[in-house]
Structure 1
Amino acid sequence: MGNRRLVVVHPPDEEGARQATIGMARRAVRSREELAGFLRENELSDDVNDPNLIEWRGGGSRTWGKSSTGPSDSASWSRWATAILMASGLLMAGVLFAIIGARDAWEALTYVGRIAGASFFAISFIALTAAVTVAADYILRRRLKFSAAVTLLAVLTVLATNLLLLFIQGVGREYTHWFVLWLGLTLWSGWALWELLHRQRVWGNMPQRKKFAVALSISALIAAANFSYTQIYKPYAAPIVITNSVKFGTPHLAAGGYIIQIPLTLHFENSGEWPAYIIAASYEVIGLKGGHARQDPRAVETWRQDIQQEKLDLNAYADPHAIPQPIIHELIVQPAYVYMEPGDSFTEERVIEIPAKNFNVIQAHSKVIAMRMDRASMTGEPGDWKEFSWKKGKAPSWVMENAEAPNDSDYVEYHIPLKYSNEILNLTRNTRYLTLWWVLGKNKEYVFKLVDNVALDGEEKTKRKTSERLRDRDRYGVVNIDSGLVQVLVASQR
């Protein structure tokens, strides 16, 4: 044979396998049949007894590891321990990723999240397939043609996936009990990779290594791009847009001139690209009473106190005795499973009745608190979210400070558990709650304010920096939208 290459079969190792080399190609073989197959793959004669073809070292063609399927010596025990540990890690990873994939494929809040769930299914399939090949190779000693490639691919995939989960958990700076599992599987993957590449040298024995490396690199790039798109770019690409408006109708006298009736129209619309939960929607009516405009202008120095009190409407002839008084505050939508798809809208009509002689000007504004449905979902029963101050006690002092209300004010509190948009975040983040306080005031000292907060359970009681509160609200796409004040003159009706 003019193209004949020298074949060297090395002594058996502690596991009973013999390394066979043909030029730069190397493979661990455990029988004459496997050696013959290796020869045929390299276009050589499969005659394992040809002395001109094969150089035997450490024993001839009859010297092989023991063929028993149970442990009988230290080498067999080592082989069985390796097989059990390898298969157990792959089986555990396969089951775990199947659970994550199943939850996201059917329950993720976005289409991209469901695609990610399908990807976890694919990873699970690779890991479980590799577990079967390990059982065939190590335990039954029936080496499959692509077992080395499948096992190596599975180990690399499990390693990369768990490193990604550890990275996500580290970025969030939060500890969950799943962290131990991610870390354990990462350490197992490192051991399995060392076992395959160093001890068994599967890379040197693997056919079509270049194609395998290219396919693995492309898969890694796709996974990295998918992660960057779904976890970084997509959540912040387009903000939630909820528009709301308030409009007064023409006031008119009723009840013999003692009552003024004012039509009020409230309009809400989701004009953005994302569906949104309407956590709360409310409107407030405020009356201004007092004298008419001053005859003499105010000095600039008198505005100092106004500015310190955040009164920025500086009018030289403003009546300093015009006192705003809350009249009505209605929670049109209270926390429940109420949502608006893009383009959805609803309108509310109200008729405001006030005493004819009490006010000169009536003002109104509406407020919406919304949350993007692709960032998180609310869980539990709405009836379990609600608590009352007269049954619970005082609210956190920072809430009343924010609402500019007395510390012993009445309020209604809604404490809503949130579920993340995908199972990866649910396993690497602690549960957060959206808490809403509807502050009412005390006695006749009306306040009517909505204060919201997103935090870990119990953390809502502590005053945090504004930047931290805004960061957590932005993480879930929670927004506050105020219509701005509109007003109508009612003094002319008297």
Structure 2
Amino acid sequence: MSIRPWVIVEPPDGRGLRRVTIEGETVGSAWSPAELRRILGRHGYPEDMDLDDPASICWRGGDSRTWPDRAWRRRSITALMTAGLLMSMVFNAVIGWPDASGALTFAQRITGVLFVLSGVVLGVSAIAALDYWGRRQFRASGAIVLLGATIVLATDALLLLLWFEEREYTRYLLVFLPALPWSIWALCILVRQKSWKGIPRPKRFAVGVVATALLTAVSLAYSTMYQPAAAPMHFTLKAEFGKAWEDRNVAFVHVPLTLHMKNTGGIPVYVINDIYTVRGRGAAYSYGEEDLTTEWRNSVRKRGARDGEAELYVDQLTYTTISSGRFYDSGNSLDVGQEYVMKRVFQLPKGARYDTVSVALQISYMRKDRGRIDVDEFRSPHLSWNERERQHCPPAVCGEFLVYRGKVRHNNNLINVTRKPRYVTAVWAPEGRFISSISSFPFNFAGVGDYREERREMERYGAAGARADAEISVAELLRSAGV
């Protein structure tokens, strides 16, 4: 008969886990005598077996009372590590999914996909953490947890860097701010335990981590800086008067007006606000007794105006709004190469005391590769004279106009989670009030607000404007109508 014991309990490792072998074959590992009894019970040993019987069990590196495992510490680390990785998994998915599923540009979609994939890696890391602080049945579990903690540190450092640019409170701050010290704590533990030792080629693993980080950094830089700046913006706006015709039933002349807009640039846009205004100009004519500068100075003094229009034989200019309207509904988009044409007819009295008629077509827009407007909210106008509206202002004080307001989100969701919500506002009135703004503060009629922020946000979202003008003499219109 062999004198070799049937059961051998190996010395505890650094975590207090003792490997159990039966006849040279590893059958499990135990943290405590209770776990050892369960392992032996699965292999036919009695539950009340004497663990101190040297004929049955050989103890190496201690006896049946040598169990250095601190279960509370190990379980606490496992719980904190797993919870942090799972929370970061959800957070990265929340950041990446809007860009991965709905970003306009390919680079922004790639950035979103990278964040979603990093969330998948963090989920795998959470599972690996249970194994690494458990039985360690997979050799690479420690390296996977190390990769997950590195991703969390890199993501949170980037978010904190973006947050410092504005230092605004956002509910996401309650997630990524605590996650940063958590990632440092996790990395300290994993480095101290040399968790990468379980993988066959640790150098290749490190190179892969660095390459992934560099790819992510390049993609973020391209999507947030180079690509939005490189794509050009061009608009073609035209306003043309057609041939007028006389209405024999009334003393008016009907004047056709054609307005045309085309996106000739490389990026789709949202049209935030638009207006066309037809004005008639009246003037008192002189015979040029004075020079041009004197003529202009007198005109400015009499009208109280501050403009750059000067004519030698024309004085005392007055302008009357004849027609005004919307050209393109607020919040509608205009894709690359798309054009829009509108034809209108306005009426001009045959005896009108105007010498010329002019039209001004204005639009303000925002690049779709920089942001996305909540169109359903933005398209609903608010009446300034309605007392139940938040934008209410007495007509005697503010006049009467429409206010369009809606939330706008940046196409790079990293910016959305580090800043307060932004709102796009458009104000329109028939007499020519035409205001477009993007800011975090609510619209008000007192003119109170951080206009530096407003200008910065307009640039950040690529908001700009375009204008087209046309002018025709009333004499030419009447002649074309046969009057």
Structure-2-length-normalised TM-score: 0.79
- Counterpart CA distance in 2 for 1:426 and 1:12 is 50
- Counterpart CA distance in 2 for 1:89 and 1:490 is 78
Q: Does 1:339 align with 2:333?
A: yes
Which residue, 155, 159, 165 being the options, matches 1:171? 165
Where does residue 40 of structure 2 map in the other structure? none
Which residue, 230, 235, 240 being the options, matches 2:228? 235
Residues 194-216 of structure 1: per-residue CA shift (max 9 Å, x gap): 00112x12246654222122212
Q: CA deviation at 1:369?
A: 1.9
Q: Does 1:314 align with 2:299?
A: no
Residues 139-163 of structure 1: per-residue CA shift (max 9 Å, x gap): 3x13412112211111111110111
Q: Does 1:424 align with 2:411?
A: no
Q: Does 1:450 align with 2:434?
A: yes
- Counterpart CA distance in 1 for 2:124 and 2:65 is 24
Alpha carbons of structure 1 residues 372 and 86: separation in structure 2 relative to 1, 3 Å: same
Residues 82-136 of structure 1: per-residue CA shift (max 9 Å, x gap): 1111112112212222333333322333332222221122211211112112212
CA contact (8 A) 1:94 1:123 kept: yes
Alpha carbons of structure 1 residues 151 and 318: separation in structure 2 relative to 1, 3 Å: same
Q: Does 1:104 align with 2:89?
A: no
Alpha carbons of structure 1 residues 192 and 213: separation in structure 2 relative to 1, 3 Å: same
- Counterpart CA distance in 1 for 2:378 and 2:165 is 35
Query: Equivalent residue of 2:404, what SS?
Result: strand
Where does residue 150 of structure 2 map in the other structure? 156
Q: CA deviation at 1:253?
A: 3.4
CA contact (8 A) 2:98 2:413 kept: yes
- Counterpart CA distance in 1 for 2:63 and 2:15 is 7
Q: CA deviation at 1:229?
A: 0.6
CA contact (8 A) 2:95 2:414 kept: yes
Where does residue 63 of structure 1 map in the other structure? 61
Q: CA deviation at 1:407?
A: 4.1
Structure-1-length-normalised TM-score: 0.78
| 1:12-23 paired onto structure 2 within 5 Å | 15-16=15-16
CA contact (8 A) 2:132 2:142 kept: no
Q: Which amino acid aligns with 1:488?
A: S
CA contact (8 A) 1:362 1:490 kept: no
- Counterpart CA distance in 1 for 2:64 and 2:374 is 59
Where does residue 238 of structure 2 map in the other structure? 245
- Counterpart CA distance in 2 for 1:395 and 1:356 is 44
Where does residue 187 of structure 2 map in the other structure? 193
Which residue, 86, 96, 108 being the options, matches 1:91? 86
Q: Which amino acid aligns with 1:387?
A: H
Q: Does 1:118 align with 2:113?
A: yes
> Where in structure 2 are there 5+ consecutive unaligned residues?
1-10, 26-57
- Counterpart CA distance in 2 for 1:333 and 1:102 is 32
Which residue, 283, 288, 293 being the options, matches 2:281? 288
- Counterpart CA distance in 1 for 2:224 and 2:59 is 57
CA contact (8 A) 2:240 2:470 kept: no
Q: Which amino acid aligns with 1:118?
A: V
CA contact (8 A) 2:391 2:443 kept: no
Alpha carbons of structure 1 residues 298 and 257: separation in structure 2 relative to 1, 3 Å: farther
- Counterpart CA distance in 1 for 2:266 and 2:375 is 27
- Counterpart CA distance in 2 for 1:136 and 1:316 is 90
Alpha carbons of structure 1 residues 104 and 290: separation in structure 2 relative to 1, 3 Å: closer
Residues 381-418 of structure 1: per-residue CA shift (max 9 Å, x gap): 35873211221499999x99xxxx98431111111221
- Counterpart CA distance in 2 for 1:223 and 1:279 is 33
Give the total of aligned pairs: 431
Matched-pair identity in %: 26
Residues 153-204 of structure 1: per-residue CA shift (max 9 Å, x gap): 1111111011111112222332201112101111111000000112x12246
CA contact (8 A) 1:416 1:435 kept: yes
Where does residue 460 of structure 2 map in the other structure? 475
Q: Which amino acid aligns with 1:300?
A: T
Where does residue 367 of structure 2 map in the other structure? 372
Where does residue 484 of structure 1 map in the other structure? 469
CA contact (8 A) 2:377 2:405 kept: no
Alpha carbons of structure 1 residues 147 and 161: separation in structure 2 relative to 1, 3 Å: same
Where does residue 426 of structure 2 map in the other structure? 436
Where does residue 273 of structure 1 map in the other structure? 266
Where does residue 46 of structure 2 map in the other structure? none
- Counterpart CA distance in 1 for 2:416 and 2:389 is 32
Alpha carbons of structure 1 residues 459 and 412: separation in structure 2 relative to 1, 3 Å: closer
Q: CA deviation at 1:256?
A: 6.7
- Counterpart CA distance in 1 for 2:461 and 2:398 is 31
Query: Equivalent residue of 1:458, what SS?
Result: coil
Query: Equivalent residue of 1:262, what SS?
Result: strand
Name whichever of 75-84 and 462-471 sits farther off.
Answer: 462-471
CA contact (8 A) 2:273 2:428 kept: no
Query: Equivalent residue of 1:216, what SS?
Result: helix
- Counterpart CA distance in 1 for 2:397 and 2:313 is 35
CA contact (8 A) 1:369 1:479 kept: yes
Alpha carbons of structure 1 residues 90 and 396: separation in structure 2 relative to 1, 3 Å: closer
Name whichever of 454-463 and 167-176 sits farther off.
Answer: 454-463
Q: Which amino acid aligns with 1:317?
A: Y
Q: CA deviation at 1:242?
A: 2.4
CA contact (8 A) 1:248 1:263 kept: yes
- Counterpart CA distance in 2 for 1:67 and 1:328 is 97
Name whichever of 305-314 and 468-477 sits farther off.
Answer: 305-314
> Where in structure 1 are there 5+ consecutive unaligned residues?
1-10, 18-29, 38-59, 441-446
CA contact (8 A) 1:102 1:117 kept: yes
Q: CA deviation at 1:476?
A: 1.5
CA contact (8 A) 1:257 1:356 kept: no
- Counterpart CA distance in 2 for 1:296 and 1:395 is 55
Where does residue 23 of structure 1 map in the other structure? none
Name whichever of 475-484 and 110-119 sits farther off.
Answer: 110-119
Query: Equivalent residue of 1:390, what SS?
Result: coil
- Counterpart CA distance in 1 for 2:239 and 2:346 is 13
